[in-house]
Amino acid sequence: MGHREIYSNAPLALTVVELRHTASTPLSEADKAGLKSLLASTFPIYKPAQQVSITVTHAGAAEDRALFPRYMTRDFTESISFRDNAVVVETTRYKRRSALRELLHQAVDARQKVSPVDGIERLGIRYVNEVRVPNLEHPSDWGHWISPPLTSIASLRTEDMAAQTWQGVTVFGTPSVGVVLRHGNFEGYAVEPAGDLRRQTPPPGPFYLLDLDSYWLPEGEVPQLEWASVEERFDAVGLSAYELFQQLITDHYRTEVLKREQ
């Protein structure tokens, strides 16, 4: 795969892997106990989470809330969730793609041993980056740190008023393989420190959001949910996001903030 940069001060606030699969019946209490037993050595804390879905009809909007099993590490920085249509891995302490892949492998093995599902519908890896820089005096200064195609709007003026905030969404690739980029300048946090997953908490202030959702959807037949099928796609999905991220930041940001490890 070639050499990849490893940074000592990476802006990643949250990484999420979602392996979407064909719909299944809700897991039973026995299933949940089986999952806990298989994951206990790494994810011993059972902390169910809530999924909210909204259905809009001619009569109005109806909200449905359902609990799904989630298992967490003792320091609450990583979790594995099992929804009716997805296996989800989340971490606020991303190290390497290989470590993330192993967590997903562990989750898939547990799901297939306890209550197998039939097929893969989507693999997505989401990287939520909060880019923070020293001595940012004005939003237009983001051009020193973030690639000009994302920040050039700050050069526009109307009646001597400069741009203060901006946001954008861009889809790269095709409906089956690509990366969705959400970006913009914000205040505070994209990933709330008060959430169930704990994270290193920088002081609140301005940050530039680089939220990349890299995905693969099978074309034609729905492949069986086997680890070999997931593994062969995992690195390609992750590397697509990595390569785009490198184009979204400037060399100034790499040198002054990321501080590449030797």
70-96, pLDDT tens digit by residue?
999 999 999 999 999 999 999 999 989
- The span from the CA of 130 to the CA of 188, in Å, is 10
- The span from the CA of 250 to the CA of 143, in Å, is 8
Q: What does pTM read for this prediction?
A: 0.90
- The span from the CA of 180 to the CA of 203, in Å, is 28
Helix orientation angle between 29-39 and 97-114, rounded to the nearest 10 degrees: 140
Are the C-beta atoms of residues 145 and 133 closer than 8 Å to each other? yes
Read off the pLDDT of residues 157-177 as tens digits, 9 standing for 90 and up. Answer: 777 777 788 899 999 999 999
For the chain, the domains span 12-258
Reading the block at residue 6, the tokens are 């490893």
The band of 262, judged by pLDDT with boundaries at 50, 70 and 90, is very low
- The span from the CA of 142 to the CA of 129, in Å, is 15
